[in-house]
Structure 1
């Protein structure tokens, strides 16, 4: 029997890395503020409002408007202190700044026609002002924006997909392209630069959990023999773009189960690796609207659908070969199990060789945890709810992710 380990953003967060969507967007706006202030000093005129604009592929994405009373000193002394969107809002109000988004876009077709457009960047930033967002929410928001453009009808109830629609899809894809580029830059900058080659006891303890024997309860439930109590293969399916998992080095540092075969699969790409580019988008081809997209015969609709990104490498086929090779248990460490990866997760969970699903849940400071929320997310990938109940490891036999001792505060 084998083990499949799903690694999500909660894994990076447990290491103290600022990899939340809110962390990334806050940094993006703060960096834009630095550029805006510099441009104001160079181009701004006394007594006039100055606007610093951000463009990508000749599209205006957003801008920051500055009054002349904003000074170079506030950037140096105050911007770096902003640590939340509440603080950012207060900062904008204090200095008379405005974050603006285009409401009208000019088509890049020969007609040059103007059309109204609701920026997904604006939607996401507005949402961050009131609540925290997960990456699955961002990818879901992209898909919902796509559907909003598609689901426009005339007075007779006929679907309208015209020049305006195609132009809206173009700017939506451009916004996501921009976010992907900026995200890769951000994550590359925040990754630790000096991780010890040998993590000592910490690394040994970590690998003992990842490749260690199946729990006593699962050995009994699955009728595993003494020879079967350790996984023969461990497949690490890393949904993150970061290389955090690789910092633990070779599993051979841990003397347990030395014969195990361990493979690390960066299924969504790796930072700054041309041979394994980042995959950022949506991955639910079972949605009822997907067939509508196919019938419209416009390939730009699929630019950020994950399935087509998987074709760029053999990562997905590596996963399929592992799933078909033998019975397996699934470990879930920091993955939200949301719908943006639905097709892949559905295949993993419903596969006839999947025998066990064990959650490493997040335990909050107030003592509550997300175990039940995780099971609810997982249930959405099952058509056979009975099979789901049979495969899920009950909470008393699961552990919090903190039990893996992932924090690096003392070594980075």
Structure 2
């Protein structure tokens, strides 16, 4: 490495292992500070350090133990090296709220210093497999970077958090590490069992191709577009009834319109959610409140999702028969680019994608902030597949729900 600054990556030669070996070859003074030390890292570095120590070099190594990521057996290798060479100093950082996280390999040969500073710890993966980036800098001992590096290591030498490695410290850390591993294994087993069955999200594009090639899905999508246009006209007409008295004619218009939206009593079923009529018919007993509710949804359709949903949720919760399905169908019809439909099929489809949310589509289960997050999530799905609005994305989610339920799509992690 003749250049004063060289970018080191494991994706090109020389990688980190070769760079470190070259860095320390012939060095008279070696300093290392890493957050984590694994067994493969120790197996790699200890012979290199031993060679330089036998040639008369001084070696200082500072190792972190946060999160118990450092292997006790790796520290044991360093302790053995230290016990064989008086010019070798090994210090270990106590665990603390602020992580000991440096990654620097510094070497001096005569008046020339070279330092490798970047992302690589002393682990097998960091040496040759991980995506790591470091700068290997050639500098002088007394230039700006040389002085800064020396000042950093001098601070490490005096820092009470860093203790000299000895058999007592090693045994204490080994015991704590064993306890952590035992408890971590329990936690990871429970965590893996609790995680939803997600997928590699890149599969969505493949699923979308299947969706586009499905004649029934495309027929349903075309029907949804037609129904949505009719539903919008009906909703606007019902909302406009709030401008006048709630006459018998207005009540009849509400009943007929809401029946067509929900699909109750032979209505046209312009909203897609299938379960609305089961509870929604109770809302017909509260004509005045429902007319105001439609007008509120129309006025809130221009507001951000969190704000609009909050207002509609508060009002809808006071009207028997009004639920999350109905409210979000109404909002999505008024503003399909801003509001997402949320019902049981949405829950099932999101879970198939590995996104955990409330199991039941109810007002009390989905708060305003969470609903706004769901809208953004569904919008992101729509962006991936090129839909024009959240209603079109909902159609795709609906298809996913039924395909997964029927076993035609496998919702498994890649």
Q: Sort the TM-score into its range (normalised by shorter chain).
A: under 0.3
Structure number with greater Rg is 2
The TM-score normalised by the length of structure 1 is 0.22
